[in-house]
Amino acid sequence: MTGIEELLVDDHGRMPYEPGRPLIDLEARDVSAWFGDHKVLERVSLTMAAGEVTALIGPSGCGKSTFLRILNRLHEMVRGASLGGQVLLGGENIYRPGRRPMDVRRRIGMVFQKPNPFPAMSIYDNVASGLKLAGVKVADKDEVVEGSLRRAGLWEEVRWRLRAPGGALSGGQQQRLCIARSLAVSPDVLLMDEPCSALDPTSTRHVEDTIEELRGQITIVIVTHNMQQALRVSQSCAFFLATHDTPGRIVESGPTGQIFNDPADSRTADYVHGRFG
């Protein structure tokens, strides 16, 4: 084997980015969440289909980002936070006893609202740091860095300055660098929490193009307040809603076209057409 195919297998018997590797879905079953005594999510069930983009939409404060953080075990890092229910990755409960959070996060990557590259670290080392943080050893680091930057749609823009600081990139480039860093360990799922909210329209388009390129290679879940973005990038949508006295829950989920054009619930129609939220 040569190049990317020489990568050492991880503890799940998989090679980081193995073209043609079976895609894996992610499923939440009756997930509820609390911060102390305050319940923020109520029995959320959702299947996020393998190789597709699922958009989580809804007003601020309805639990979308909390739900996203539950999907890779970040919620439990908050003092006083707790949860119930199951999250299944390819049928395996990521919260089963003995399952290490780090192993889960190796397979379920996360891109945050604000780009967070290591600013003094080079572009190359930013991508390679994903391998180090996840404890993944590879036979050819150069090949992995290039492959990750290509998948994130950034290679042609940075190939001649890989040793330049990651913090010197534009905001949109930094966000794609963070995507490349997550992709370096070849996760099965990539979570994105409003990845374009701090970006200008041109940078937003580049990130959306990257999401489109990744579709079919990886399962993606994105939180967005931009309804046009949800229409552009996703194949499925879940509409979350909370009130002052009820925790967040899914009002309706289904194919994106149906949610926007023929929703079953009037609250969904009101939200996607900008009548509230």
User: What per-residue confidence (pLDDT) applies to 43?
Assistant: 95
Tens of pLDDT, residue by residue over 220-239, are 999 999 999 999 999 999 99
User: What per-residue confidence (pLDDT) applies to 235?
Assistant: 97
- Whether the pLDDT of residue 277 is over 90: the answer is no
- Whether the pLDDT of residue 105 is over 50: the answer is yes
What is the pTM for the complete model shown?
0.89
Name the superfamily (CATH) of residues 24-112+185-272. P-loop containing nucleotide triphosphate hydrolases (3.40.50.300)
CA distance 76 to 100: 12
% of the chain exceeding 90 in pLDDT: 74
For residue 120, what pLDDT band results from cuts at 50, 70 and 90? confident
User: Tokens in use for 151?
Assistant: 């998948």
CA distance 259 to 46: 15
